[in-house]
């Protein structure tokens, strides 16, 4: 019988997600420029640390999901807190660029064992087929990561510098994240795990399921590519359309509230619709927002609200659609395998976007984003044909 008491689990995991996202994926949004200015390290190499970390996370994710499927998420999430603390400590003390990049190897392990996908797998292992509401609620908490940690990082930089900021986050992982995981995350219920012929348990798929897996992997790959390119290059792309820097920053700030607002609306639905509706709506909203920007319509704010709303519920769909497609028994292992292409895409996409921007210009970059977003709508619609018959 799966645990029914969710009150301490979801808030604890929510705080863990805020600190994990804020001290890894969002860390360089505030710290990259001060790091480069203080050390003389090229800004591109500073930012490359995040790409390196995402690659490590992608490599590790299938094994992480398999482990959670067998043993539950508590040891994995605890390891994430320790890995992040060590990685941030190395970065905070790094005397040179190679040591700095080595720190990102550990942070990458922390991301691979502590971001959404391991958290979703943990909830799936705890609550089985009833995990959807918990996953949805958790993404609402995670949506506040940049809202909390960007101002916190800026505050800390002013007082203790970027090195002290990294060490402070390391301390938060040891004093807040790790205890929350150990105290609030219960052991999972026992269930038999079916082993496939390979080393990763619980991933044998029939023909329909293989098609569904490949389509979902494609959605996550294209979704990760679009998200990463927009996140890194949005301000530059808006300025190429004649938007002033201050206005571009203000427009970009609309994305976060739009993400949270869309997740609240999804929560209000209380899971009455199939998760594929959420995924399809997410992809349609993303393509509408990007197409409006590509067309140069004078509705930048609306375009970014639509994009943000789509991105917000996409985070929910990436956790709930695999649960509906493949069931709870293999969920953790499959989520781990599905995470790899999206993480690798997020690692490589900013560099691809930079090359396109530099050599082909903003119009070509907008066109590329539109093509990728439209292709993802097609993949999401294709998933309807391979869903299990209820």
pLDDT > 70 fraction of the chain, expressed in percent and rounded: 94
Phi and psi angles of residue 236, each rounded to the nearest 5 degrees, phi first: -60, -45
Q: Which two tokens stand for residue 90?
A: 């190395």
Mean pLDDT score, 170-188: 94
Residue 119: band (very low, low, confident or very high) from pLDDT cuts 50, 70, 90: very high
Q: How far is CA 308 from CA 143, 259, 315, in A?
A: 11, 5, 11
Q: Is the dihedral of CA 119, 222, 306, 273 positive or negative?
A: negative
What pTM does this model have? 0.84
Q: Summarize pLDDT for 372-388 with one digit per residue, the tens.
A: 999 999 999 999 998 87
CA separation for the pair 302, 92 (Å, rounded) = 39
- 260 near 307, Cβ under 8 Å? no
Other Cβ atoms less than 10 A from the Cβ of 317: the count is 29
Indicate if the pLDDT at residue 75 is higher than 90. Answer: yes
> In DSSP terms, which residues pair with 195 in a beta bridge?
201
CA atoms within a 13 Å half-sphere pointing along the CA-CB vector of 270: 0
CA separation for the pair 160, 330 (Å, rounded) = 46
Q: Summarize pLDDT for 288-345 with one digit per residue, the tens.
A: 999 999 988 889 999 999 999 999 999 889 889 998 888 888 888 898 899 899 899 9
Q: Summarize pLDDT for 248-287 with one digit per residue, the tens.
A: 878 887 888 888 899 888 888 776 788 999 999 999 999 9
């Amino acid at each position: 019988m799966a645990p029914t008491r969710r009150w301490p689990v979801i808030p604890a995991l929510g705080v863990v997600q805020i600190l994990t996202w804020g001290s890894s994926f969002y860390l360089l949004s505030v710290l990259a420029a001060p790091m480069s200015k203080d050390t003389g390290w090229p800004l591109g190499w500073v930012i490359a640390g995040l790409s390196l970390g995402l690659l490590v996370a992608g490599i590790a994710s299938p094994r992480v999901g398999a482990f959670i499927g067998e043993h539950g998420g508590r040891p994995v999430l605890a390891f994430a807190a320790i890995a992040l603390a060590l990685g941030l400590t190395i970065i905070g003390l790094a005397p040179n660029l190679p040591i700095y990049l080595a720190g990102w190897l550990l942070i990458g392990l922390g991301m691979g064992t502590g971001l959404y996908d391991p958290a979703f797998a943990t909830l799936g292992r705890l609550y089985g087929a009833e995990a959807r509401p918990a996953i949805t609620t958790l993404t609402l908490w995670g949506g506040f990561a940049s809202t909390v940690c960007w101002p916190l990082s800026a505050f800390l930089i002013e007082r203790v510098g970027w090195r002290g900021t990294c060490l402070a986050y390391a301390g938060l992982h040891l004093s807040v994240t790790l205890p929350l995981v150990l105290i609030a995350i219960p052991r999972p219920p026992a269930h038999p795990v079916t082993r496939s012929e390979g080393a990763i348990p619980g991933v044998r798929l029939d023909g329909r399921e293989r098609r569904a897996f490949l389509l979902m992997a494609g959605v996550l790959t294209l979704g990760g590519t679009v998200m990463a390119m927009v996140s890194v290059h949005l301000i530059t792309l808006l300025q190429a359309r004649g938007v002033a820097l201050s206005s571009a920053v203000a427009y970009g700030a609309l994305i976060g509230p739009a993400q949270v607002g869309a997740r609240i609306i999804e929560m209000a639905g209380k899971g009455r619709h199939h998760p594929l509706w959420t995924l399809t709506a997410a992809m349609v909203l993303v393509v509408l927002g990007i197409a409006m920007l590509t067309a140069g319509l004078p509705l930048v704010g609306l375009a970014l609200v639509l994009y943000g709303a789509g991105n917000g519920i996409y985070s929910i769909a990436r956790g709930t659609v695999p649960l509906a497609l493949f069931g709870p028994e293999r969920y953790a292992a499959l989520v781990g395998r599905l995470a790899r292409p999206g993480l690798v895409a997020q690692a490589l996409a900013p560099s691809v976007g930079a090359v396109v921007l530099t050599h082909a210009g903003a119009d070509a970059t907008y066109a590329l984003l539109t093509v990728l977003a439209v292709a993802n709508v097609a993949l999401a619609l294709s998933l309807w044909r391979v869903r299990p018959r209820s």
